[in-house]
A and B are shown apart, each in its own frame.
Chain A
Amino acid sequence: MDDEQLSSLIRRHATRHVAGVGLRSELRARIAIAAAAAAPAPTRRLAFAGWRAALAGFAAGVVVAGAGIALLPPLRGTSSLPAELVADHVRALGAGPLIEVASSDRHTVKPWFQGRIDYAPPVYDLKDEGFALIGGRIARVGGAPVATLAFRHGRHVVDVFVWPAQALQAERASQVRGFNVLHWSDASMQFWVVSDADAAELERFASAWRARAAAPR
């Protein structure tokens, strides 16, 4: 057996180990987290840009409000909705972008949504409770743009999809392909939390979120 034959045997038969989806998505999340940590704090210039975005958002909101309201209700009560949210969560982790605005500062993330969607989702950083805000993105759910917040919890990424609600809804947990989904609505918004973290951890997230929402600021 000469060198060429040996090389050919190895090339044809030896195992080439391939990075799994888990490694790829976890790495992407950690890079997003590292990028968020490195992102500069907002400056006066950015604050001014925020104003312009706010004005643009107001104008855009007037234009798309009708379409948004028409599109949003079918999202509620659709049996495949959790599956669709899990699919978006997986797609964002695998192919990205997981976050389009990378920041742990809610005063950066919240204004970023202005002009991109026709509602203003609440944004909290729950770092002290173990869920650090890493950024946000716009997901498309049932064809409608939906505000999505990404949190880091240990080595897990927790996605929170937020859009307006018509009615209160108590917490409801489900599971799709091993991912946990937790849903509730308050008086104005509905929340869908998706992660591979334990269901109990998502409940802890929901409690922390509601406590923060209720706290006077």
Chain B
Amino acid sequence: MSDAGRFESLVLPWLDAAYNLARWLLRDEAAAEDVVQDAALRALRHLGSLRGEARPWFLAIVRNACFDHVQARRGRREQGGWEDEALEALQWQSGQAGADAASALQGTRERVQIDAAIRSLAPALREVVVLREIEGLDYAEIAQVAGLPIGTVMSRLARARTRLRELLEQAGVRP
């Protein structure tokens, strides 16, 4: 089969997962689309190096492309990496983070609150939550995607869950 054919059957089925991850990491629709496209073309070029499951392999490429994108954006702005986090925390406190148009339109109060809580997590925690809870990857797959030891994945997930629980309980979201 040609590379394009293999790509179509192995990698394209995970395009939604890739976009979802990029969208959550970058929090920007246009940037997520650009990054996923570039990552997909990179995946096509390196298809020969694919061993084992295509999903974690492709998501690792997307994940790295997202972090590269964030680095480049920060470099251009000549700002420290904390600005975004500080802004995000501020938005959470003032309730502005919940006003994301897509969430507000489609959503229940739970959706708005839960999306905002996940969005407010630091990227390192946000990515494990998205991969585990939304995409349903297991610990070993998340370790492969994020390039981390499994133990680190588990401890980050635990930290992320503690933080999410606090935020959701504050917001009055019940299980």
Enumerate chain A residues within 8 angstroms of B23, measured Cβ to Cβ: 17
Residue-wise interface mask of A (101-117) relative to B, using a CB-CB cutoff of 8 A (1 in contact, 0 not): 01000000000000000
B37 and A10: CB pair below 8 A? no
Q: 4 closest Cβ contacts across the A-B interface?
A: A5-B175, A19-B19, A17-B23, A35-B4
A31 and B20: CB pair below 8 A? no
With both chains docked as a complex, state the minimum distance between the C-beta of B100 and any C-beta of chain A, in angstroms: 9
Partner of B19, one of A11, A23, A34: A23
A-B residue pairs in contact (CB < 8 Å), sample of 19: A1-B165, A1-B174, A6-B168, A9-B175, A10-B118, A13-B114, A14-B111, A14-B115, A14-B133, A15-B115, A17-B24, A18-B19, A23-B19, A24-B15, A27-B15, A27-B40, A31-B41, A31-B44, A34-B45
B175 and A1: CB pair below 8 A? yes
Residue-wise interface mask of B (101-137) relative to A, using a CB-CB cutoff of 8 A (1 in contact, 0 not): 0110011101100110010000000000100111000
Q: How many residue pairs bridge A and B at CB < 8 Å?
A: 97
The answer to whether the Cβ of A96 comes within 8 Å of any Cβ in the partner chain is yes
Enumerate chain A residues within 8 angstroms of B33, measured Cβ to Cβ: 20, 22-23
The answer to whether the Cβ of B68 comes within 8 Å of any Cβ in the partner chain is no
Across the two chains, which residue of chain B brings its CB closest to A96? Answer: B8
List the interface of chain B (C-beta within 8 A of A): 2-4, 7-8, 15-16, 18-20, 23-24, 32-33, 36-37, 40-41, 44-45, 102-103, 106-108, 110-111, 114-115, 118, 129, 132-134, 161, 164-165, 168-169, 173-175
Enumerate chain B residues within 8 angstroms of A7, measured Cβ to Cβ: 132-133
A17 and B19: CB pair below 8 A? yes
The answer to whether the Cβ of A156 comes within 8 Å of any Cβ in the partner chain is no
The answer to whether the Cβ of A84 comes within 8 Å of any Cβ in the partner chain is no
How many A residues, CB 8 Å from partner? 31
B3 and A38: CB pair below 8 A? yes
Partner of A16, one of B44, B132, B134, B173: B134
* Main SS class of interface, A: helix
Give Cα distance in the complex from A13 to B164, angstroms: 14
Partner of A15, one of B16, B36, B111, B175: B111
Given A17-B23, A19-B19: A35 in contact with B2 (beta carbons within 8 A): yes
B19 and A31: CB pair below 8 A? no
A13 and B40: CB pair below 8 A? no
B129 and A10: CB pair below 8 A? yes
With both chains docked as a complex, state the minimum distance between the C-beta of B118 and any C-beta of chain A, in angstroms: 6
Enumerate chain A residues within 8 angstroms of B111, measured Cβ to Cβ: 13-15
A9 and B168: CB pair below 8 A? yes
Give Cα distance in the complex from A10 to B169, angstroms: 14
14 new A-B pairs (CB below 8 Å) besides A9-B175, A12-B110, A19-B16?
A1-B174, A1-B175, A3-B161, A6-B175, A13-B108, A13-B111, A14-B134, A15-B102, A16-B16, A22-B33, A23-B36, A24-B15, A30-B37, A35-B2
